[in-house]
Amino acid sequence: MKKQRNIFLVGPMGAGKTTIGRQLAAELGCPFYDSDQVIEERTGVDVAWIYDLEGEEGFREREFEIIDELSKKQGIVLATGGGAVESSDNRRVLAARGIVVYLTVDIEQQLLRMEKDKRRPKLRTITDRRTFLIEQQKYRDTIYREMSDYVYSTNEESIKALACKLIELLDQR
């Protein structure tokens, strides 16, 4: 019997990792997880509260524990937080345990998608979101690309169309 593959979605906030991940998992008939949501479910508080109480370092430790645990499963789709790739441990386990897909999004789309977002810890205190997102993209883009098996833009297609195209792409593997 063929071992079921894992699909891990990485990319910046607002790229659609959770939304596309849910659709992809539904199309494939497999479980979907969002690492941030699992952290929130297990702690009973939102990510922003964890950042406030434990700082980014405390959050990143929790994030690694969850990514390490979930990536050991078989046949899942996992959406990671945008900053998860900054951890070499996260990059290592994701690359070793599944297919990594980098979902890209241009800055204009990112700004539109997160216009009213108040949940993301790093956006709560930022007054110039555009500059912040550009700086994050400059820093993380190379990391995302180096660890990914595929790079796919989420700028213009519907969620269902993107999920179907990703499945086609993965089926060629």
Indicate which CATH number applies to the domain containing 46: 3.40.50.300
Instruction: Give 70-121 pLDDT, tens digit per residue.
Output: 999 999 999 999 999 999 999 999 999 999 999 999 999 888 877 766 666 6
Residues 35-55 as b/e (b if ≥16 CB within 10 A, e otherwise) read bbbbbbeeeeeebbebbeeee
Within a domain: 169: no
Within a domain: 172: no
Report residue 66's pLDDT band, with 50, 70 and 90 as the boundaries.
very high
The number of domains in the chain is 1
Within a domain: 94: yes
Within a domain: 114: yes
Within a domain: 170: no
Within a domain: 82: yes
DSSP-based three-state secondary structure for 159? helix
- Domain that residue 106 falls in: 7-158
Q: How many CA atoms lie within 13 A of 14 on its CB side?
A: 25
DSSP-based three-state secondary structure for 54? helix
Instruction: Give 13-28 pLDDT, tens digit per residue.
Output: 889 999 999 999 999 9
DSSP-based three-state secondary structure for 172? coil
List of residues 6+ apart from 117 with CB closer than 8 A:
13, 14, 123
Q: pTM, whole model, 2 decimals? A: 0.91
In Å, the largest CA–CA distance within the chain is 53
Count of Cβ atoms closer than 10 Å to residue 153 Cβ: 15
Within a domain: 87: yes
Rounded to whole angstroms, what are the CA distances from 148 to 45, 53, 134, 145, 163?
31, 32, 20, 5, 17
CA angle 4, 158, 128 (to 5 degrees): 105
Within a domain: 145: yes
Query: What one-letter code names the amino acid at 59?
Result: F
